[in-house]
């Protein structure tokens, strides 16, 4: 049986490096807007009875002129799933012990013409080992060129790895980021993937390389979109539209999002889990 601990350490190092580069770029955008906003980092430790090394993470949050609220979390946790929850997790019915490391990002923007965004990538081990993740764009006021730029970035990296990836993972995002009780999508999509299994060393390297490219593509495309829209003038009606849209976003994350459920069911940090919620929203 493969010892995945060194692979988890490599993935953790990459996620932390990606976090640092993303946060530096977002702070640069704030400087360009005349703001001195910066990320504040809060470490946290997970607790699990009988577990001497449950792991933890670092929650980073910035509230600025361009980024009304952006959270970037990195965590690495170890433990055992509760029996009822283990049935929902890939490979956990065979072995309820798990290790998970990953990065999760949600940005809510001050200007309603700048899209909100979500990105996460992760590596998990149970009786199986796999990568998952993706990114999706969530504009209150959609622009076709922003949507195309975002999708083009991920279409390109998918094509480098597997010609079937983009269409498969684009559809997965469309299906997943859907609010059934509203009958609407959460945004304009992106890609979403899960259970990219690592049966051997070669598969791990292949899937890790793809996951790295997902993170790099996000870092390349999203700041371009932000800079394109962040000086756009907006009206009170534009802001109202954004706040109503944020209500839909909150509904999805609290009712349907698997990452939120995973964090709550595995003893994650509550503030880190709920950092995805917008700073302000309305329900009409």
**6: which residues sit within 8 A by CB, 6+ positions away?**
none
SS3 68: strand
Euclidean distance between CA atoms 270 and 137, whole angstroms: 24
The answer to whether 56 and 45 are in contact (CB under 8 A) is yes
Q: Which of 78, 113, 118, 151 is catalytic?
A: 118
Task: Let me know: does 121 contact 185? Beta carbons within 8 Å.
Answer: no
Cβ 213 vs Cβ 161: under 8 Å: yes
Residue 148, number of CB atoms within 10 A of its CB? 12
Q: Where are the beta strands (DSSP E) in the chain?
A: 40-45, 55-62, 67-80, 97-109, 116-125, 129-138, 178-179, 184-185, 189-197
* 7 part of the active site: no
Contact 105, 23 (CB under 8 A): no
Residue numbers annotated as active site: 118
């Amino acid at each position: 049986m493969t010892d995945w601990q060194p692979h988890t350490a490599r993935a953790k190092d990459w996620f932390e490096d990606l976090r640092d580069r993303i946060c530096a770029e977002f702070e640069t955008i704030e400087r360009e807007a005349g703001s001195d906003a910066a990320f504040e980092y809060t470490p946290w430790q997970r607790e699990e009875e009988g577990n001497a090394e449950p792991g933890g993470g670092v929650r980073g949050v910035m509230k600025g002129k361009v980024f009304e609220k952006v959270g970037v979390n990195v965590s690495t946790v170890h433990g055992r799933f509760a029996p009822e929850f283990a049935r929902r997790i890939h490979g956990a019915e065979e072995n309820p012990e798990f290790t998970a490391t990953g990065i999760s990002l949600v940005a809510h923007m001050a200007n309603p013409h700048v899209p909100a965004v979500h990105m996460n990538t992760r590596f998990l081990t149970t009786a199986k080992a796999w990568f998952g993740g993706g990114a999706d764009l969530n504009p209150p006021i959609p622009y076709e060129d922003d949507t195309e730029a975002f999708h083009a970035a991920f279409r390109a990296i998918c094509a480098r790895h597997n010609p079937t990836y983009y269409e498969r993972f684009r559809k997965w995002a469309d299906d997943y980021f859907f609010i059934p009780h509203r009958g609407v999508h959460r945004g304009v999509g992106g890609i979403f993937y899960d259970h990219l299994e690592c049966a051997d060393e070669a598969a791990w390297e292949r899937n890790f390389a793809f996951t790295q490219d997902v993170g790099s593509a996000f870092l390349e495309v999203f700041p371009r979109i932000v800079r394109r829209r962040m000086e756009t003038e907006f009206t009170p009606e534009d802001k109202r539209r954004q706040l109503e849209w944020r209500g839909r976003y909150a509904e999805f994350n609290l009712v349907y999002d698997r990452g939120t459920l995973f964090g709550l069911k595995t003893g994650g940090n509550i503030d880190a889990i709920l950092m995805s919620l917008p700073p302000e929203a309305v329900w009409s």
